[in-house]
Chain A
Amino acid sequence: MFAFVVRRLAWGVFIVFGVVTLTFVAVESVPGNPFSGLQSPKMTKEAIDRYKASWGYGPDKTGWDRYKIYMEYLAKGDLGRSVAQNRAVSSMLRDAIPNTLKLTIAALLLDLVLGVLLGVISALRQHTRTDNVLTGVSLFLYSMPGFWLSLMLALVFAVKLGWLPRYGIHSPEETGLLDYLQHLILPCVALGVAAAASTARFQRSALLEVIRMDYIRTARAKGLSERTVVWKHAMRNALLPTITLLGLYLPFLFSGAIITESIFGWPGMGQMTIKAITDRDVHVVTAVTIVGTTMVLIGSLVADILYAVVDPRVRLS
């Protein structure tokens, strides 16, 4: 177990290194200077020039030099500055990451609970009307653009019905938990429901496969109640693929969060990314890419370890 975690971590470090390199190459491969024509009300032209020079954007520097400079800065934990906001990227990330994490984790929980529940219901009533309706609904949700679902939720529940707040993370005057949760509901549902739809599809076929096995028949023959058979015996095995899937979902959830955050004004990394792109803040975009990818990698590592914990047959090697 320990050896596995160490090996996966080392592998993760390699991937992050690769991600950093590729991100750098992507920015560098574009002809011209990524800072050219950049103007900022908060930074003087001289300050921008100094900043550019310190990152190797000078006349006598090659791409390789810049790569070394970039890596040096990164090793020191310096992700650069936002030119538009005249603020260190790391301090912006410190504000944004917790918000994104809260939203993503809430969505993941919703995804897991709703997806597994609907998948199980649909599998246990295979080929009935309930199953058909659930499968149809999940196909629709699964084929829906995330941004559109977000907008429709905002339209119905915030604009038309006025039940839930449309923007932000807090009402101007309030700071309570209830207020926070009210703001969380819409973005969380927008993110989680679409993911839950594909989890349900997956869970359905996983349970259908398990429920045909001999040991389930044995359990039923022993006279156990259907509830025990399904939740204690079948689900033990049918949940396993879902857990791996959750690890694989993280990149999608993260991509979704970028859009959902910008629609609901959630001050996380997604909103930061969109703003950075409109402001042409190259270092902010690179930093978000690196941090986002690292978070995804950590997530898939956690999913792998979890997989081993719940399934004693899996020997991590």
Chain B
Amino acid sequence: MKAWDWLLPGLGHWRSGYRREARKYFVFLGMWLAILILRFDRIASLYDFGGPTESTIALLFLALWPLAWILAARRGLNNLLSATRRESLSQWRIALGMMRRNARCVLGLKLLGIAYLIAFLCPILAPYDPSLTPPDTIVNKVAAPFTTIYVLGDTTRGEIYCREFRLEENGSLFLDRAEEFAHARVPLEDLGEPLGGWKRPPTGSRDVGGRTLPYRAEFHLLGTDDVGIDLLSLLIYGSRISLSIGFIAMFIAVVIGALVGTAAGYAGKWTDFGLMRLTDILMAFPRLLLLLLIYAAYAAAKMDTSIFLVVAVLGATGWMGIARLVRAQVLSLKEQDFTVAARALGFGHWRVMLRHLLPNSMAPLIVDSTLRVGDTILTEAALSFLGMGVRKPTPSWGNIVEGGAKVLNEAWWVATLPGLAIVAVVVSFNLVGDALRDAMDPKMRH
């Protein structure tokens, strides 16, 4: 193994004949280089564009990501080349092997990988800053996908926006401003350096009536939303919310559910009765109704309804199924010899619960929670859609659809595209969850 083999991840794999693994690392490297080269301008001026937190996260990610696969490639290659292979396989290793062979699961993981990559790198990848509402909403709002909007400089008024511009016979410039009443004519001599200067430098120029007019072209690949913000940027920034809230809320729910379930199953008697009846009652609530009730109570008290509240509430209303699952596991585990032995050795209740019972009920718990992440994402989106979850100006896929619902008749893309993003992510989570369930189920192994 030469120094090059681990400095350039995948090279060693390639030379040793593991072409498939090598290709994976080359794809990573290609993506990393592509981002670095294509978005170099943005990376260089990152802190002027995005907020400090997300910029730092994006830079850290960009720096640590290659490090992760350099180390992974090195370890993987050592494992492949070393003479002694692992003899025994743990439950998790078998499951991992099965999932790798499951094409649907691999597809799901790839999609999720891309989604998280986008979420981490959002200030680098987003073409515009979605927190800035464009100054001219008439021209910008509900622009169709693939629209270019031109920004011209007016020496008396500042920047002016239009969809297209052309010279009229009387010598003035006609600006097509998307709506009949908003069209404008500007005398040619007014055009040039805008009053107050360019907000961002011009990107091109066109010869009109013997003069060279500089303009800035703003291209909207997916169009704009109901207030004129670039939809692609909104989707990219919105991915942060959808991808993180599902996970964090799920984590809170798992912690609460595991604690309640273990306590109920292990303690038995009245603790069990009380906790399980509480679970029953909470399960009887239609979840959305429970969430809306809590939200209404907080909104009525004029409390801050921030993202943290959404996460906490989603977590606090999602643990009941997990608690039942863990309780059932603990009930059967606590009669088994290893638990009895642990008790006989004089270990305390807490130690038995946390070190013996909980780890052994982990497998079904993880399968169940993977399948629930998708559900949590859907619930968050529904809440945001109703205007009671994550609220504008923080974009989330749910509240972009809410904006799109208002302009459904004239602009189908605003409601459609974020929904597709939600579907893609939730389908991926479900594919991975299904594969994980099959992989953890000994009956499915052949």
* Chain A residues in the interface with B (C-beta under 8 A): 14-15, 18-19, 22-23, 26-27, 29-38, 139-140, 142-148, 151-152, 154-155, 159-160, 251-252, 254-255, 258-259, 262-263, 273-274, 276-277, 280, 282, 285-286, 288-289, 292-293, 296-297
Residue of B nearest to A297 (CB): B284
**Known A37-B302, A259-B386, A292-B286; further 20 A-B contacts with Cβ < 8 A:** A19-B285, A23-B293, A26-B297, A27-B293, A31-B301, A36-B302, A143-B374, A143-B423, A147-B401, A154-B408, A254-B289, A259-B382, A273-B289, A277-B299, A280-B300, A282-B300, A285-B296, A286-B293, A292-B289, A293-B289
Does any Cβ of A come within 8 Å of B412's Cβ? yes
Most chain B Cβ neighbours within 10 Å, of A18, A146, A255, A285: A255
Residue of B nearest to A22 (CB): B281
Q: Is A293 a contact of B401 with CB atoms below 8 Å?
A: no
Q: How far is the CB of A26 from chain B (nearest CB, A)?
A: 6
Does any Cβ of A come within 8 Å of B331's Cβ? no
> Are A143 and B301 CB-contacts (below 8 A) given A15-B281, A273-B289, A285-B296?
no
Does any Cβ of A come within 8 Å of B188's Cβ? no
Does any Cβ of A come within 8 Å of B409's Cβ? yes
Q: For A19, what are the chain B residues with a Cβ–Cβ distance below 8 Å? A: 281, 284-285
Q: How far is the CB of A287 from chain B (nearest CB, A)?
A: 11
Q: How far is the CB of A73 from chain B (nearest CB, A)?
A: 18
Main SS at interface, chain B: helix
A277→B429 CA distance, assembly (Å)? 32
Does any Cβ of A come within 8 Å of B405's Cβ? yes
Q: How far is the CB of B62 from chain A (nearest CB, A)?
A: 30
19 sample A-B contacts, Cβ–Cβ < 8 Å, listed by A number: A26-B294, A30-B298, A30-B301, A32-B301, A38-B300, A139-B427, A140-B427, A143-B426, A143-B430, A144-B422, A148-B381, A148-B415, A154-B408, A155-B415, A252-B286, A254-B286, A285-B292, A285-B293, A285-B296
A280→B297 CA distance, assembly (Å)? 8
A288→B398 CA distance, assembly (Å)? 24
Q: 8 tightest CB-CB pairs across the interface, nearest first?
A: A148-B419, A255-B288, A18-B281, A143-B426, A32-B301, A251-B286, A254-B286, A30-B301
Q: For A252, what are the chain B residues with a Cβ–Cβ distance below 8 Å? A: 286
Q: Is B280 a contact of A152 with CB atoms below 8 Å?
A: no
A30's contact among B278, B303, B409, B423, by CB below 8 Å, is which?
B303
B386's contact among A151, A159, A262, by CB below 8 Å, is which?
A262
Interface residues of B in 366-401 (CB under 8 A from A): 374, 378, 381-382, 385-386, 388, 398, 401
Q: Is B419 a contact of A152 with CB atoms below 8 Å?
A: yes
Q: Is A15 a contact of B297 with CB atoms below 8 Å?
A: no
A293→B286 CA distance, assembly (Å)? 7
Does any Cβ of A come within 8 Å of B144's Cβ? no
A27→B303 CA distance, assembly (Å)? 13
Q: How far is the CB of B229 from chain A (nearest CB, A)?
A: 19
B408's contact among A34, A155, A274, by CB below 8 Å, is which?
A155
A258's contact among B281, B292, B409, B412, by CB below 8 Å, is which?
B292
Q: Is B401 a contact of A151 with CB atoms below 8 Å?
A: yes
Q: Is B299 a contact of A146 with CB atoms below 8 Å?
A: no
Q: How far is the CB of A278 from chain B (nearest CB, A)?
A: 8
Residue of B nearest to A262 (CB): B386
